[in-house]
């Protein structure tokens, strides 16, 4: 959520930012109108309230309660109720509109229309040459008996799969390797959060109200399944004032992620690239506003470190204004080359969200013991998404006979050096 004061006082800044994103500017105009109406009503209600408070105080001092004053105040009370009902209605609409307006891109984000305008900022490693035709992971997985697509469908339907034997072990090894690396080498505190959360958590992270159609929801108990660990991690400090000298806070968390993928219907249905349930290791930072840009650089570096330790070639691309996620100020994606399915796989997306989520989730910090609370900045980045890294490993480390060499970094986590 943007600061309503910013929208009010510098509407042009907001218009320009939304234009760069390709957003409909009418939303901003509506917000400004609703804000004006709301404050007008609030002012009326508060003036009446001040009068009532004053008179009530006077009445409390009087021996004989004056019936006419009380009657008058009863009317004032009714008017207050009426105006407030109206004000609440306007406030509700204002909130809904505000929650649906995306964040403003940072000044240095390249302006562009869509993914085609994203920029490669660097690349690492050389794609391995093959003396044979590398197979896609779904063929490798089935041949090796480590991915069972048919039974996944039997159990749960399309976009579900079963990992078995060394397939399952490879995933577990990767999870442990990533958690260990981030917690022991990069300074993150490991968190195990709930996978089902309350509605307000999704509002805090900005998945709701706008992206409800990508979420699983238990109507009976009103639990929402997390689409990423970013959701519970954002809310870990919801409605808190973080004490002085505490920031930055770094968290890392492995969770299952649940996504309906309504928007991507029919896309990427083959293999394990896009399922309704997948594992992810997520890094998350709460930082002081002045430091968030530098923290993003280091967040990307922490994600890259995993790629490098696994010996998997990748490139880093910066998203342009038109491709930026809803909450992000600036984002870098990491993509790995998959020689089997011959495409770049997005294994990580690292974003600085500025104070956008912090305002929604009401996460503040106190710079000094005497100072007023300020909103923190939040950052999130995959470190990394498991299925796609599995694809990259399988396809990059495959051999002519269909076996897969285990990357060196994972050998201590596996009971084998080769999957065959």
Partner RNA sequence: GGAGGGGUGACCGAGUGGACGAUGGUGACGGUCUUGAAAACCGUUGUCUCCUCACGGGGACCGUGGGUUCGAAUCCCACCCCCUCCGCCA
Residue 218 sits in the site that holds RNA (CB under 7 A): no
CA–CA separation, 156 and 146 (whole Å): 18
Per the residue annotation, which of 259, 260, 298, 359 is the catalytic one? 259
Candidate segments 57-65, 151-159, 170-178, 271-279, binder of RNA by CB under 7 A: 57-65
The yes-or-no answer on residue 348 being catalytic is no
Q: Is residue 220 packed enough to be buried (19+ CB in 10 Å), middle (13-18) or exposed (0-12)?
A: exposed
Per the residue annotation, which of 19, 30, 142, 346 is the catalytic one? 346
Residue 52 sits in the site that holds RNA (CB under 7 A): yes
Q: Which residues contact 71 (CB under 8 A, 6 or more apart)?
A: none
For residue 384, whether the previous peptide bond is cis, meaning omega lies within 30 degrees of 0, is yes
The yes-or-no answer on residue 119 being catalytic is no
Rule CB under 7 A: choose which of 26, 60, 219, 401 binds RNA. Answer: 60
Closest CA to 324 of 170, 83, 118, 63: 118
β-partners of residue 284 are 251, 380
Cβ 75 to RNA shortest distance, Å: 9
The yes-or-no answer on residue 274 being catalytic is yes
Residue 57 sits in the site that holds RNA (CB under 7 A): yes
Cβ 15 to RNA shortest distance, Å: 20
Residue 5 sits in the site that holds RNA (CB under 7 A): yes
Residue 297 sits in the site that holds RNA (CB under 7 A): no
Candidate segments 42-50, 153-161, 248-256, 322-330, binder of RNA by CB under 7 A: 42-50
Per the residue annotation, which of 205, 349, 351, 382 is the catalytic one? 349
What b-and-e string marks burial along 377-409, b requiring 16 or more CB atoms within 10 Å of the CB? bbbbbbbbbbbbbbbbbbbbbbeeeeebebbeb
Binding to RNA in span 69-108, by CB under 7 A: 70, 73-74, 77, 81
β-partners of residue 217 are 224
The yes-or-no answer on residue 346 being catalytic is yes
Residue 63 sits in the site that holds RNA (CB under 7 A): no
The yes-or-no answer on residue 298 being catalytic is no
Binding to RNA in span 325-384, by CB under 7 A: 364, 369-370, 372-373
Nearer to RNA, 4 or 384 (CB): 4
Interface positions with RNA (CB under 7 A): 4-5, 39, 42-43, 46-47, 49-50, 52-57, 59-61, 65, 70, 73-74, 77, 81, 241, 364, 369-370, 372-373
Residues with a known catalytic role = 259, 274, 346, 349, 388
């Amino acid at each position: 959520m943007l600061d309503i004061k910013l929208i009010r006082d510098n509407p042009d800044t907001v218009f320009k930012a939304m234009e760069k994103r390709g957003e409909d500017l009418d939303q901003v105009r509506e917000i400004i109108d609703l804000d004006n109406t709301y404050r007008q009503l609030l002012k009326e209600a508060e003036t009446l309230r001040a009068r009532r408070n004053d008179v009530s105080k006077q009445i409390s001092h009087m021996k004989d309660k004056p019936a006419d004053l009380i009657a008058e105040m009863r009317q004032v009370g009714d008017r207050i109720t009426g105006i407030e009902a109206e004000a609440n209605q306007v406030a509700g609409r204002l909130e809904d509109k505000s929650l649906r307006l995306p964040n403003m891109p940072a000044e240095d984000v390249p302006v562009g229309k869509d993914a085609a305008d994203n920029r490669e900022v660097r690349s690492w490693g050389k794609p391995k040459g093959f003396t044979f035709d590398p197979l896609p992971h779904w063929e490798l997985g089935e041949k090796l008996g480590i991915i069972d697509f048919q039974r996944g469908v039997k159990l749960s339907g399309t976009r579900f799969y079963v990992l078995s034997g060394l397939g399952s072990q490879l995933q577990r090894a990767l999870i442990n390797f990533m958690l260990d690396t981030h917690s022991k080498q990069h300074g993150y505190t490991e968190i195990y959060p709930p996978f089902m959360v309350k509605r307000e958590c999704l509002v805090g992270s900005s998945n709701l109200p706008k992206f409800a159609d990508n979420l699983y929801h238990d109507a009976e108990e009103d639990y929402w399944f997390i689409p990423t660990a970013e959701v519970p991690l954002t809310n870990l400090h919801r409605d808190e004032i973080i004490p002085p000298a505490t920031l930055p806070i770094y968290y890392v968390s492995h969770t299952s992620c649940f996504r309906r993928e309504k928007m991507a219907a029919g896309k990427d249905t083959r293999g394990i690239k896009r399922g309704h349930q997948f594992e992810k290791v997520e890094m998350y930072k709460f930082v002081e506003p002045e430091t968030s840009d530098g923290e993003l650089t280091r967040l990307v570096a922490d994600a890259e470190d995993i790629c490098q330790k696994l010996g998997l070639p990748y490139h880093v691309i910066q998203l342009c204004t038109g491709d930026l996620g809803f909450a992000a100020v600036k984002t870098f994606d990491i993509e790995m080359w998959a020689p089997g399915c011959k495409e770049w796989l997005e294994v990580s997306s690292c974003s600085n969200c500025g104070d956008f989520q912090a305002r929604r989730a009401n996460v503040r910090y106190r710079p000094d013991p005497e100072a007023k609370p300020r909103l923190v900045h939040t950052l999130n980045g995959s470190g990394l998404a498991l299925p796609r890294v599995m694809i990259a490993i399988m396809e990059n480390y495959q051999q002519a006979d269909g076996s897969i060499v285990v990357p060196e970094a994972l050998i201590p986590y596996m009971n084998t050096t080769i999957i065959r």
